[in-house]
Each structure stands twice: as structure tokens, then as C-alpha cells.
């Protein structure tokens, strides 16, 4: 699975006023769950374009400075209903010794022999 690196900074204050100030400055407030405590941080909105606007699943390496680095996956994203700006992102921390369950997109490449012979391909998906 491909990995994307996002550089951010830990948030000093968490609340409505500081969150609005972050968004006005072009940053996205984020939370990293899965460890002992939730880690609140922010990153530039442009850093998420390769993660959010792609059909592929990626792991994320979050670098918060001072040597802090976390492996994570995208758990949830909140988007503004009119402008489609990213409002908030939740990440889930990955550990080598813990299993996780996630949905992974499947791409079908090429054309099967049955379709080449005139058949119809029906893709049945279930969740």
C-alpha cells in the first residue's frame, strides 16, 4: 500500500475559536486516535489533496516535528456542504502488532475472455 507523508504541528488549544482561526489561515484541524491519548494537530489543506481526492487507499505518515512520527490511516473526513472545503479529518493510528479492518478499493484491469467473446460483465459488490 502506498504511503503519503503529511507534515503538521500539534495544536496548543482545542476549541471553536482556535479551530476557526486555523481554517481561516488555510489549515485543517485533525485528530489522531488509537494510541493512549488522542493527538490534536493541524496541517496545511494542500497537503491532503493526494490523500482525499484519489480512489486509492493510502497509509499516512504524520510528522509533527520534534521527532514525533505516527503511521495512520484516514478514518473520517468532514467536508463543507457547499464549498467542498475540508473542515476536519480523523486518523487512526496503526501498530505493527494490532490488526485492523478496512475497506480497500478493487480495480479491475483488462478485459476478460468472456467479454471479448461477446459476453456481458456484471460487477457484483457487497459490503
Taking residues 78-97, report their average pLDDT: 92
Domain ranges of the chain: 3-116
Taking residues 59-83, report their average pLDDT: 90
Average pLDDT of the chain is: 87
- Confidence at residue 78, expressed as pLDDT on a 0 to 100 scale: 92
Query: Looking at per-residue confidence, does 91 or 13 come out higher?
Result: 91
HEC assignment per residue over the chain: CCEEEEEEEECCCCCHHHHHHHHHCCEEEEEEECCCCCEEEEEEHHHHHHHHCCCCCCEEEEECCCCCEEEEEEEEEEECCCCCCEEEEEEEECCCCCCCCCCCCCCCCCCCHHHHCCCCCCCCCCC
Per DSSP bridges, beta strands 69-79 and 86-93 are antiparallel
Is the pLDDT score of 7 beyond 70? yes
CATH topology of domain 3-116: Ribosomal Protein L25; Chain P (2.40.240)
Amino acid at each position: 500500500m502506498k504511503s503519503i507523508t503529511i507534515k503538521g504541528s500539534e495544536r496548543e488549544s482545542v476549541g471553536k475559536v482556535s479551530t476557526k482561526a486555523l481554517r481561516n489561515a488555510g489549515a485543517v484541524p485533525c485528530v489522531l486516535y488509537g494510541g493512549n491519548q488522542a493527538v490534536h494537530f493541524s496541517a496545511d489543506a494542500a497537503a491532503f489533496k493526494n490523500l482525499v481526492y484519489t480512489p486509492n487507499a493510502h497509509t499516512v505518515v504524520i510528522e509533527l516535528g520534534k521527532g514525533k512520527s505516527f503511521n495512520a490511516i484516514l478514518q473520517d473526513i468532514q467536508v463543507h456542504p457547499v464549498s467542498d472545503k475540508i473542515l476536519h479529518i480523523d486518523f487512526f493510528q496503526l501498530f505493527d502488532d494490532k490488526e485492523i479492518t478496512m475497506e480497500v478499493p478493487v480495480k479491475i484491469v483488462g478485459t476478460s475472455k468472456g467479454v471479448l467473446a461477446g459476453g456481458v460483465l456484471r460487477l457484483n459488490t457487497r459490503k
